[in-house]
Homo-oligomer: A and B are copies of this chain.
Amino acid sequence: MADGEQRRIVPVILSGGSGMRLWPLSRLGRPKQFLTLAGDHSLLQQTALRASDPTLFAPPIVVSGEAQGDAVEAQLAEAGVAPALLILEPAARNTAPAIALAALASEPDDLLLILPSDHHVKDEAAFRAAMATARGAAEEGWLVTFGLRPERPETGYGYIRAGTEIAPGTRRAEAFVEKPDLATAQRYVAGGDHLWNSGMFLMRAGAYLNALRTHAPYLLPAVEAAMAGATREGARLLPQAQSFARAPSQSVDHAVMEKHDRVAVVPASIGWSDIGSWEALHGVLGKDEDDNVLTGDVVAIDSHGSLIRTDGPVVAAIGVEDLIVVATERSVLIVPRAQSQRVQEAVQALIRRGAKPPPELLGDAG
């Protein structure tokens, strides 16, 4: 690296998720990050493009499940993004081992920007500004998280309590707290020191591995062995399956962040959403004059505040209020917006009643 030139940040995109919270659109074979929910790109593509400016970012490392390697590659190619490395996990082991794979594939001084692949960021300029703020502490060896200023007393997220400032715009992360009850969440929002835990991090690869070695001693050796026995095919890296299977399934928060003493948080407002429910998607998307989001072949008459989406049959809605309706060729979901986090109950009921997994959950492949 030339003197005075900043080392470029390496995006590490985590694409191992498999949630069904946007069923029936998200299904077992088609997790949320592959869906085009807003704009012209899928969430995975948007994530890659968000960190694609070559003056700031090196080509990304993408960590994904083995079964989804083709889909990830096709989506990245479509978006014009060539990953430096596509690491295909032989088994799902949550985020701590996934990030360890990427860190072991990097130089110790590489700055890794960990990005979940299925989040929505509205204000990309604020996103880049937060990266720039975080850089100083990360280069000094801090594990820097991004703490989002809460927009509402959300009970579905974890929070980070921010302490004293350690650098401009950067504070010590005093505590990681689990999903609070509503009264606690309301106190958090009023107090101003609690931030949403976004799952995004900036840190030196070596700093992360050192912290892992200290706080999760059983985890790192398994991942190291998997990488030592890995095979490479073009940009694809396949860790050795038996070794990787020995890694405990742990989140990076649980394995490292909650325990380490050099964890910082950069408070930010970047228009973030994890699109964790249909209600959240309704919040993110542009609405028509009736506060509706209509996608596909929909006829809406005297209907308001609703998200109605079809990839299959014509949907005619008359006089509905604050409703989620999602139709595919196989399945139709109807749920009031305020209850849309209950989609899981429908998925569970479908699993219980039939063959496992039934075609409604698999989609066209089923």
Contact = CB atoms under 8 A, between A and B. Distances in A.
Contact of A313 (B299, B312, B346): B312
Nearest to A344: B318
A293 interface: no
B345 A318 contact: yes
A1 interface: no
How many monomers of this chain does the complex have?
2
Nearest to A359: B314
Interface stretch (A54-62, A126-134, A325-333): A325-333
A334 interface: yes
A328 B319 CA distance: 20
A335 B319 CA distance: 6
Given A301-B342, A339-B318, A323 B334 contact: yes
Which size bracket describes the interface of A in this complex? Answer: 35 or more
A335 B329 CA distance: 20
A299 B349 contact: yes
A315 interface: yes
A27 to B, nearest CB: 12
A325 B312 CA distance: 16
A330 to B, nearest CB: 5
Interface in A36-87: none
Interface string A303-327: 0000000101111111110010101
Given A299-B353, A327-B313, A342-B301, A320 B334 contact: yes
A318 B301 CA distance: 22
Which one of A323, A331, A334, A353 has the greatest number of beta carbons of chain B within 10 Å? A334
Contacts of A330: 313-314
Nearest to A350: B299
B316 A334 contact: yes
26 contacts: A24-B316, A299-B346, A299-B350, A301-B346, A302-B342, A313-B327, A313-B328, A313-B332, A313-B360, A315-B332, A316-B331, A316-B333, A316-B334, A316-B350, A317-B334, A318-B339, A318-B343, A318-B345, A318-B346, A320-B334, A320-B335, A320-B336, A323-B334, A325-B334, A327-B332, A332-B332
Given A313-B331, A315-B334, A316-B331, 5 more contacts: A299-B346, A315-B331, A316-B334, A318-B333, A327-B327
